Amino acid sequence: MNSRFSRYALIWILLIVTVYIGDQFIRGAFLTADDPRPVTARGSLAESEQSTINLFEAVAPSVVYIFTGNGEPEGGGAGSGFVWDRAGHVVTNHHVVAGARSIAVRLDTGETVSARFVGSAPDYDLAVVRLSATRASLRPIPIGQSGTLKVGQSVFAIGNPFGLSRTLTSGIISALNRRLPTADNREVAGVIQTDASINPGNSGGPLVDSAGLLIGVNTAIISESGSSAGIGFAVPVDVVNRIVPQLIKTGRVPRPGIGITVLPEEIAARVGASGLIIADVLSGSAAQKAGLRGVAGQVIGDVITHVNGQPVRTLAEFAEALGKVGVGNRAELTVQRDRSSRVVMVEVIDIS
């Protein structure tokens, strides 16, 4: 019995070994792809894919890579920008070119051209440089509008994150009307928030809609690591389209004010003031002509609570309200002094 079982077991083992060896032989001799494999026809791209490809091919030639130097061997920085007009003006962020001793721009063609600084608006984190030699092939980016944007719209960012040129990322508009702090306690209003990946090097590059129209200038991210965390911000194109022409014409943007300094907001909150406490009134200013008073010793003078009927609680809100009035026009200020309120008309002046 044991002898018969042993014979059967041996036969099964031999059969298994034979099948295994035969399988390996067949795979090695007939199934191994040791020559290039034939290509499988893919078929048409999805409509959404083709649309994104067309958008990139249309917008990318307008996007540039900006290099800056500050005179130090290891100094300088880099960022993105885009062609504004055929005269060679390029728009970027103020913080990309601030303090630069030299500026170079690499075009979509791969050519690098030196550029000169034209002007900047730190309050809006915008700047303009101009190529030293214009190129007939320059393609200005098409301009859209930001006032009609909706949360949920598709958006695309093109730039040079971490020095990787011609990079496209996509996402949606996550929120609108954010406020972005800039220089000297100022803010940009109406800022676009997006989840499209924006990283260091994207600064100054365009944010475009699904039609390939400029809707914003990428300027900042919120991230503990310094890399994209899905929260990026762009200066709205309606602001850009107002500020950039002024920079091209004069190299600067008027800074609306009335000639005052104010106490820090925390002090106003501590004493229960519901507005801006005037610390000092500059001699000969519009504020002095209007009779406004600052702090005298331990005595609080005037507290500005409203501009043209709209409440203002921070310097940024005050600056925004004066900006809407415009330099050369008169603003109606509601002012409190000694617990009484009055209305004062003050001319808005350029304090830059």
pLDDT tens-digit map of 105-128: 999 888 899 999 999 999 899 999
Q: Which of 154, 165, 203, 285 is catalytic?
A: 203
pLDDT of residue 121: 92
pLDDT of residue 10: 76
**Strand 112-121 relative to strand 102-106: parallel, antiparallel, unpaired?**
antiparallel
Q: What is the rounded average pLDDT of the residues 13-41?
A: 76
CA proximity to 295, closest of 322, 268, 257, 258: 268
pLDDT tens string 129-179? 999 987 668 999 999 999 899 999 999 999 988 877 889 999 999 999 888
Q: What is the rounded average pLDDT of the residues 65-82?
A: 76
What CA–CA distance (Å, rounded) separates 43 from 272? 69
350 is catalytic: no
pLDDT of residue 63: 95
More confident residue, 18 or 237: 237
In the chain, the domains with their CATH numbers are 50-131 (2.40.10.10), 154-250 (2.40.10.10), 256-350 (2.30.42.10)
φ, ψ of residue 291 to 5 degrees: the values are 85, 15
Q: What is the mean pLDDT of the chain?
A: 87
Q: What is the rounded average pLDDT of the residues 318-327?
A: 89
pLDDT of residue 222: 56
Dihedral (Cα; 292, 294, 296, 298), 10-degree rounding: 130
More confident residue, 74 or 103: 103
Residue 180 confidence class, pLDDT cut points 50, 70, 90: confident
This prediction has a pTM of 0.79
- Asked whether residue 228 carries a pLDDT value surpassing 80, the answer given is no
pLDDT of residue 224: 53
Q: What is the rounded average pLDDT of the residues 73-91?
A: 84
Q: Which of 89, 94, 95, 306 is catalytic?
A: 95
Q: Which of 125, 209, 238, 302 is catalytic?
A: 125
From start to end of 186-309, where are the E strands? 187-194, 206-209, 214-221, 232-236, 256-257, 260-262, 276-281, 303-307
pLDDT of residue 135: 67
125 is catalytic: yes
Residue 97 confidence class, pLDDT cut points 50, 70, 90: very high
85 is catalytic: no
- Asked whether residue 245 carries a pLDDT value surpassing 90, the answer given is yes
What CA–CA distance (Å, rounded) separates 324 from 312? 13
- Asked whether residue 223 carries a pLDDT value surpassing 60, the answer given is no
Q: What is the rounded average pLDDT of the residues 252-267?
A: 88
pLDDT of residue 73: 42
pLDDT of residue 270: 85
- Asked whether residue 185 carries a pLDDT value surpassing 70, the answer given is no
**Residue 279 to residues 154, 260, 265, 284, Cα–Cα distance (Å):** 46, 7, 11, 16
Residue 211 confidence class, pLDDT cut points 50, 70, 90: very high
What CA–CA distance (Å, rounded) separates 229 from 175? 15
Q: What is the rounded average pLDDT of the residues 290-319?
A: 89
φ, ψ of residue 44 to 5 degrees: the values are -75, 150
pLDDT of residue 272: 82
More confident residue, 265 or 31: 265
pLDDT of residue 197: 84
